[in-house]
Copies of this chain bind each other. A is one copy, B any other.
Amino acid sequence: MITIDQVRQRAEMDARTNGCYLNPDKDFLNDLFVGLKTNEERYGYPSCPCRLATGKFELDRDINCPCDYRDPDVKEFGACYCALYVSRDVSEGKTQIKPVPERRPKEIQARAYGLKLEAPTPQATASSPTTAPMPAQETKIRLKLYYCKQCGYVCFRESPPYICPICKAKMEMFTELPIQPENAG
């Protein structure tokens, strides 16, 4: 059993830790907290209140709040996809939130929802293997060790974070750690 107050406390700690702010509209914010509480009780983890979760953690991991897209969206648009987290300027009413497009890659969405991706070129469409049902092994998620070349932060993920949570370096600063875990994934 989780309370709205616990959801709020967590979001406040999280915003402060990661350098962003909560939406200043208290009613709007509360509605999102209710959504997070509902999802946590339903799935066992607080998936994004503005996106459709599958109920399988591995497929929903990137849209668990705070989602993988929160930091680059706050940096670029002033808010995350839900507008739960905002930038300092938005928090202080200095700027408006820009429309936030869905940053979640189509491939990740397709994998989560078991959809086929549209083929990228007309030729490929004609006889593309992507029009065949997606084989089960393609949904296997392989985790790797990455590190930030700027500050040395180490993480174990499918792909590097968009922004380093420690030094805020961009994704391109991450590279694979030259060490291989056993049975990763």
Stoichiometry, copies per complex: 3
CB under 8 Å from chain B, chain A span 48-75: 57, 61, 64, 66, 71, 74-75
Whether A57 and B156, one on each chain, are in contact in the complex, defined by CB atoms closer than 8 angstroms, is no
Check if A153 sits within 8 Å of B155, measured CB to CB: yes
| Alpha-carbon gap, A182 to B76, bound state (A) | 37
What are 17 A-B pairs at a CB distance below 8 A? Answer: A13-B20, A13-B75, A16-B18, A17-B18, A17-B19, A17-B168, A64-B169, A66-B168, A151-B157, A152-B161, A154-B155, A156-B177, A165-B166, A178-B182, A178-B183, A178-B184, A180-B182
Contact indicator A149/B57 (Cβ below 8 Å): yes
A6 contacts the other chain (CB 8 A): yes
Number of chain A residues whose Cβ lies closer than 8 Å to a Cβ of chain B: 53
Q: A150-B64, A154-B145, A182-B179 known; A16 and B14 CB under 8 Å?
A: no
List A residues 161-179 near B (Cβ within 8 Å): 161, 163, 165-169, 173, 177-179
| Contacts A17-B168, A147-B155, A167-B14; A181 near B178 (Cβ below 8 A) | yes
Residue of A143, A165, A167 with most chain B CB atoms under a 10 A cut-off: A167
A157 touches B161 (CB 8 A): no
Indicate with 1 or 0, residue by residue over A1-28, a CB within 8 angstroms of chain B CB atoms: 0000010011011111111100000000
Pair B19/A15 contact, Cβ less than 8 Å: yes
Residues of B within 8 A of A89 (CB): 9
> Do A9 and B154 have beta carbons less than 8 Å apart?
no
Bound together, the chains give a CA A14 to CA B148 distance in angstroms of 15
The 8 A CB mask of A32-57 against B (1 = contact, 0 = none) is: 00000000000001000000000001
